[in-house]
Structure 1
Amino acid sequence: MPLENYGVLAGTLHRHFRDRPDDQGRWFHVHLEVDTPAGRYECAVDVDSKKSAIGVQWKVFTLYPSVLEPVDAPDPGYHDLARASGSGAIDYLRHPALADRRGCLFVRRPPQWLRQVLDRFDPPRPWTEGSHLEASAALEPILVPGRQVLVFGEPFDEGLGMHNIHQNQGDPAGSQWWEENGIWQDGATMTRRPDGLYDVFLSRFSTQQAPTDENGHPLQDGSQH
């Protein structure tokens, strides 16, 4: 089954900090403290493991607020989102502003001249792969205290907080996260710049695959990216 709850937290970024460099848990996070009318939320952004062989991949880019409607400027606080297109939910593979649309247009790699045209009007956003420290360093420049922030993911069962702030689909059969696969429930961190645009950080684990079916499970002929 997909995540039990899914939504977006809107607020003001107070500060961020990394997990301590010790044996605190298996997974390494960058923590965001976000102020809302209900109180200060702690948001744990996964940036991979200190102990496992699972790698992390990430993207950092900028979006116009209009592409995030209807959650481009929500009231401060947590908001549940329906796992469906048009609700404001995030899906790395299906959201018009996030998906690699070229993969939907071409079965084979387009010719060089056409790639150059596409790159001009729709620059590619390749995934970067590296260590949890490199992923943390890529995220932190957009974490400016005082900025408005949108955090997509799953709220804590108890207390004010968010987790599962990463891709939440494409985990392979046999993994402990298979049952949590689902579409339109991916996590993201976005902070609003002074010019009104959003800086965006997306992350996923190297074992997660694409494309996925309507349940968020990897397709049989899917390839790992």
Structure 2
Amino acid sequence: MPLENYGVLSGTLHRHFRERPDGQGRWFRVHLEVDAPAGRYACAVDVDSRDATAGVRWKVFTLHASVLDPVASPPPGYRDLARASGSGALDQLRHPALADRPGCLLGGHPPQWYQRILDRLNPPRPWISGSCLEASEALEPVLVPGRPVLVFGEPSAEGLGMHNVHRNQGDPYGSRWWADNGVWQDGAVLTRRPDGLFDVFLSTFSTQTEPTDADGHPLRPQPY
């Protein structure tokens, strides 16, 4: 089954800070404080995993607001999103603006000449692998206090907050996160720049594989 709840928080970034890793140097997060009408939300962005064998991968890029409709300019506050294309939900593997290779959405591999055109219109954005500190350093430049921010993920069960702000599909069979796999429920952090464009931070873990099926489960078992 997918996440119990999924949606987007729209607000104003107050500040961010890094969490200390645990006693073994694992499970590191960057915390965002976001102001919205209901109060100040605590948002945890995982840049490390509780699984010691899982490395983190990320990418940072810029998107035009129009590709994020209908959630490019939502009213401040949290709103649930339907786990479906066109609802405003995000899917790192299926959303046309987020997928690594847009041509693959057409089915199969397009001709090379057509792929070259697609690459010029929407250049490939490879994942970067590294440490939790490197992932934090990649995220923090877009976390400008006072900027409008969109945080996609799962709302906290208690209090004002957001978590699961990362890919939420492709976890392997037998892992503790298998049951949370689902499509159109990926997390992300987006901050709106003065020119109206959005800076985007996406993250995933090396144990999460792609492609995934209609339930968000991996189609092949091996990691990258």
Partner of 2:85: 85
Check whether the contact 2:48–2:55 (CA below 8 A) recurs between aligned residues.
Answer: yes
Partner of 1:218: 218
Using the TM superposition, give the Cα deviation of residue 21 of structure 1 relative to its aligned residue in structure 2, in angstroms: 4.7
Partner of 2:102: 101
Using the TM superposition, give the Cα deviation of residue 27 of structure 1 relative to its aligned residue in structure 2, in angstroms: 1.7
Residues 154 and 51 from structure 1, CA distance in 2 versus in 1: closer, same or farther, beyond 3 angstroms?
A: closer
Residues 106 and 88 from structure 1, CA distance in 2 versus in 1: closer, same or farther, beyond 3 angstroms?
A: closer
**Structure 2 segments unaligned to the other structure (5+ residues):** none
Root-mean-square deviation over aligned CA pairs: 2.1
Alignment of 1:10-21 (within 5 A): 10-21=10-21
Using the TM superposition, give the Cα deviation of residue 121 of structure 1 relative to its aligned residue in structure 2, in angstroms: 2.0
Q: 1:4-33 CA deviation, whole Å, 9 max, x = no partner? A: 010000000000000025539952100000
Q: TM-score, normalised by structure 2?
A: 0.92
Partner of 1:177: 177
- How many aligned positions are there? 223
Q: 1:98-147 CA deviation, whole Å, 9 max, x = no partner? A: 11213335745864x66544332221111000000000000000000000
Partner of 2:47: 47
Question: Which letter does structure 2 place at the counterpart of 1:103?
Answer: C
Question: Which letter does structure 1 place at the counterpart of 2:183?
Answer: I
Alignment of 1:41-190 (within 5 A): 41-49=41-49, 52-99=52-99, 100-105=101-106, 107=108, 111=112, 116-190=116-190
CA distance in 1, matches of 2:32, 2:49: 18
SS in 1 for 2:82: coil
**Structure 1 segments unaligned to the other structure (5+ residues):** none
Check whether the contact 2:103–2:109 (CA below 8 A) recurs between aligned residues.
Answer: no
Partner of 2:27: 27
% identical equivalent positions: 71
CA distance in 1, matches of 2:28, 2:83: 27
Check whether the contact 1:49–1:55 (CA below 8 A) recurs between aligned residues.
Answer: yes
Question: Per residue, is there more strand in 1 or in 2?
Answer: 1
Question: Which letter does structure 1 place at the counterpart of 2:152?
Answer: F
Question: Which letter does structure 2 place at the counterpart of 1:119?
Answer: D
SS in 1 for 2:211: strand
CA distance in 1, matches of 2:18, 2:50: 13
Question: Which letter does structure 2 place at the counterpart of 1:168?
Answer: N
